[in-house]
Structure 1
Amino acid sequence: MQPSASPYEERLTAPRSWWFVCLLVGVSMALILLPFGTLPLLGGLVGGTAVSAVVASSYGSARIRVVGGALIAGDARIPVSALGEAHVLDPEEARAWRSFKADARAHMLLRAYIPTALRVDITDPADPTPYVYLSSRDPERLAAALEAARTNA
Structure 2
Amino acid sequence: MSLSPSSPSPTPPVSPAAAPTAGHSERLGLPWWLWLAGVAAAVLLAAELWMGYSGVRAWLPFAVLPPATVLGLAWLGRVRVAVLDGELRVDDARLPVRFVADAIPLDAAGRREVLGVGADPLAFVVQRPWISGAVQVVLDDPADPTPFWVVSSRRPVELAEAILAARDAG
TM-score, normalised by the number of residues in structure 2: 0.82
1:94 aligns with 111
Query: 1:139 deviation in Å?
Result: 0.4
Query: 1:40 deviation in Å?
Result: 3.3
1:127 aligns with 144
Query: 1:140 deviation in Å?
Result: 0.5
Q: Following the alignment from structure 1 to structure 2, what is the Cα–Cα distance between the partners of residues 127 and 98? A: 20
Identity %: 29
Give deviations 1:70-123, integer Å, cap 9, x for gaps: 001122101000111111111111112122232110000100111111001010
8 Å CA contact 2:22–2:165 kept in 1: the answer is: no
Mapped pair 1:47 → 2:64: yes
Mapped pair 1:138 → 2:158: no
Cα pair distance change 1:9/1:35, threshold 3 Å? same
1:38-77 correspondence to structure 2 within 5 Å: 40-77=57-94
Query: 1:5 deviation in Å?
Result: 7.2
Superposed CA RMSD in Å reads 2.1
Query: 1:35 deviation in Å?
Result: 4.0
Match of 2:31 among 2, 12, 15: 15
Query: 1:44 deviation in Å?
Result: 1.4
Cα pair distance change 1:45/1:3, threshold 3 Å? farther
Q: Following the alignment from structure 1 to structure 2, what is the Cα–Cα distance between the partners of residues 90 and 135? A: 10
Amino acid at match of 1:46: A
**Structure 2 counterpart SS, 1:128:** coil
- For these two proteins, the number of residue pairs brought into alignment is 153
8 Å CA contact 1:106–1:132 kept in 2: the answer is: yes
TM-score, normalised by the number of residues in structure 1: 0.90
Q: Following the alignment from structure 1 to structure 2, what is the Cα–Cα distance between the partners of residues 50 and 6? A: 39
Query: 1:30 deviation in Å?
Result: 2.8
Larger-gyration structure (1/2)? 2
2:3 aligns with none
* Structure 2 runs not aligned, ≥5 long: 1-16
4+ runs deviating over 4 angstroms: 1-6
* Structure 1 runs not aligned, ≥5 long: none
Cα pair distance change 1:4/1:28, threshold 3 Å? farther
Query: 1:4 deviation in Å?
Result: 9.1
